């Protein structure tokens, strides 16, 4: 049980997560991005996802929310959508050249942010923190 001056771990984690998320979004904003755009771009780059549904599942958002982001990203020239020739109800999503450039800018900003976040932590502390965060997540999902 937490002591009288320490907040419950869930509350503390929530506060820290919001602080880090806002700072990360601001760092991406400095290079013309945002967290949702970054998540979509990095998912398309690293997982070679094709359909909107696969993309929504990988990012962990609802299809309608993804559609909103993709509409904006398509308008900005970052992605291109096309109907799957084998199933006209399925939309394929791919990066454009403009999207590739945006990905590289945001990747640089994300790497710089990660270095800032790890400042003062040893590799062992970083690994221990990652392990603890994984354990907290497993406690919630029941693994």
Q: Does residue 38 form part of some domain?
A: yes
- Asked whether residue 4 is assigned to any structural domain, the reply reads no
pTM for this model (two decimals): 0.82
In a domain, 26, yes or no: yes
Does a structural domain hold residue 83? yes
Indicate whether 3 belongs to any domain. no
Number of domains in the chain: 1
- Give the range of the structural domain holding residue 105, as residue numbers without chain letter: 9-141
pLDDT, tens digit (0-9, with 9 covering 90-100), for 81-98: 888 777 777 778 889 999
Domain-embedded: residue 61: yes
Q: How far is Cα of residue 101 from the mean position of the Cα atoms in its chain?
A: 18
Q: Is the pLDDT confidence value at 49 over 80?
A: no
pLDDT tens digits for range 3-39:
567 779 999 999 999 999 999 999 999 999 999 999 9
Which run of H or of E encompasses 81?
Answer: strand 79-84
Whether 1 is covered by a domain: the verdict is no
Residues 6+ apart with CB under 8 A from 33: 41, 102, 105, 106, 109
In a domain, residue 2? The reply is: no
CATH number at residue 39: 1.10.10.10
């Amino acid at each position: 049980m937490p002591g009288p001056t320490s907040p419950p771990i869930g509350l503390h984690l929530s506060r820290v997560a919001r602080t880090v998320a806002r700072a990360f979004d601001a760092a991406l904003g400095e290079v013309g991005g945002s967290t949702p755009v970054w998540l979509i771009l990095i998912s398309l780059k690293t997982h070679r996802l094709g359909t909107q549904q696969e993309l929504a599942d990988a990012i962990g958002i609802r299809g309608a929310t993804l559609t909103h982001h993709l509409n904006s990203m398509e308008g900005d020239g970052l992605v291109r959508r096309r109907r799957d020739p084998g199933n006209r109800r399925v939309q394929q999503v791919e990066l454009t050249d403009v999207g590739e450039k945006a990905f590289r800018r945001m990747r640089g900003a994300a790497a710089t942010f990660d270095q800032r976040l790890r400042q003062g932590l040893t590799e062992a502390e970083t690994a221990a923190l990652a392990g603890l965060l994984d354990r907290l997540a497993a406690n919630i999902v029941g693994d």
